[in-house]
Structure 1
Amino acid sequence: MIELYFPQSCGEWLAWFVAWGFVLVGLFYLIWPKIAMRMFWTYPQQESASLLAAVRGNMGGLPLGLGIGYLLFAQPFLAVALFLAVFFCIVGRLVSFIIDKSFSGFNVIALLIEIVFAIASFVYAFGFVA
């Protein structure tokens, strides 16, 4: 039977908390997609079942699956996957700052949280913290 692995070192704890962050964000999008869209100021022209399916599937399922995968198996390559996922979230947000002119207080706070998640998973995945 698969058991929940509890971290033994500081680096493992960092990646473990990042994985829990992924799980919580994924559950939020999966369970409350309408609230998530309102919270992030995304007001679609027409709310449809396919829109909610896209939010639940893409924005909820992916981080949820990645976070649960790390929590169950706790392998260093999964910490690299966590890092890459957060890294490209940062890249996407920075591109949006430049192209879409989306620079706002909320986006800066979200960027800072993503940077913390990226650093936490990076230092463990690449051996800077044992």
Structure 2
Amino acid sequence: MQVPLDVDPRGFLSPLLCDFFTLSARIGHDSKGCDSMEFYFPTEMNEQVAFIGCAATAVIGLLIFLFPGTVLRLSAFQVGEVRPEGYGSVRAVGGRYIGLGILPILLAQDWFYMATGVVLALGAAGRLVSFFIDRGVTPRNIVFFLLEVALSAAPLAYVFGYI
């Protein structure tokens, strides 16, 4: 008697054959029997505020990543002859902001919302120190400070239960 040769007798390869990367934090089961992920948008208003704050952080990071020269000029840097390393440093900062914004959206966990809020709040604190030490009280600096405060307040208010 000949035993038929099964390519994947224990099902080890089937998860690899399924589409395993789509946006979401909730895992479901699709018609093919594969684990899949669907996009998750919060249903509660308080988490929606944190979600939108993180999404705005990711969009700002994407802008920094894609347009480093424009961002440097907007940040009041004198852009003359910028070497590739300089643009690389600015793009790296943009990538960090993308990661800070996307991670809480993908995983929908309070710790990631809190980490994003704390990092953005520390950035706002650095700008506040600059107001006094560097005499940096300018309209542009104030606007960026308020933006950082608002973006950090959204996830922190959600995590600590203020909204």
Do both proteins adopt the same fold according to a TM-score greater than 0.5, normalized to the shorter chain? yes
What is aligned with 1:12? 47
Matched AA of 1:109: V
Tell me the distance in 2 between the aligned counterparts of 1:90 and 1:60.
16
* Displacement after TM superposition at 1:45 (Å): 5.8
Match among 71, 93, 109 for residue 127 of structure 2: 93
Match among 33, 50, 54 for residue 68 of structure 2: 33
Contact 2:64 2:91 in 1 (8 A): yes
Matched AA of 1:99: I
Structure 2 portions without partners, runs of 5+: 1-35
Secondary structure of the residue aligned to 1:116 is helix
Map Cα deviations across residues 24-49 of structure 1 (whole Å, 9 max, x no partner).
11100110101111111112564100
What is aligned with 2:77? 42
Tell me the distance in 2 between the aligned counterparts of 1:109 and 1:88.
16
* Displacement after TM superposition at 1:125 (Å): 0.9
Tell me the distance in 2 between the aligned counterparts of 1:55 and 1:117.
20
Structure 1 portions without partners, runs of 5+: none
Contact 1:26 1:61 in 2 (8 A): yes
Matched AA of 2:60: V
Q: Cα RMSD (Å) of the superposition?
A: 1.3
What is aligned with 1:3? 38
Contact 1:5 1:73 in 2 (8 A): no
Q: 4+ residue stretches of structure 1 with deviation over 3 A?
A: none
What is aligned with 1:103? 137
Size of the alignment, in residue pairs? 128
Match among 41, 44, 51 for residue 86 of structure 2: 51
Identity %: 29
* Displacement after TM superposition at 1:3 (Å): 2.9
Secondary structure of the residue aligned to 1:103 is coil
Tell me the distance in 1 between the aligned counterparts of 2:158 and 2:118.
13
Tell me the distance in 1 between the aligned counterparts of 2:80 and 2:134.
19
Larger radius of gyration: 2
What is aligned with 1:78? 112
- TM-score, normalised via structure 2 length: 0.74
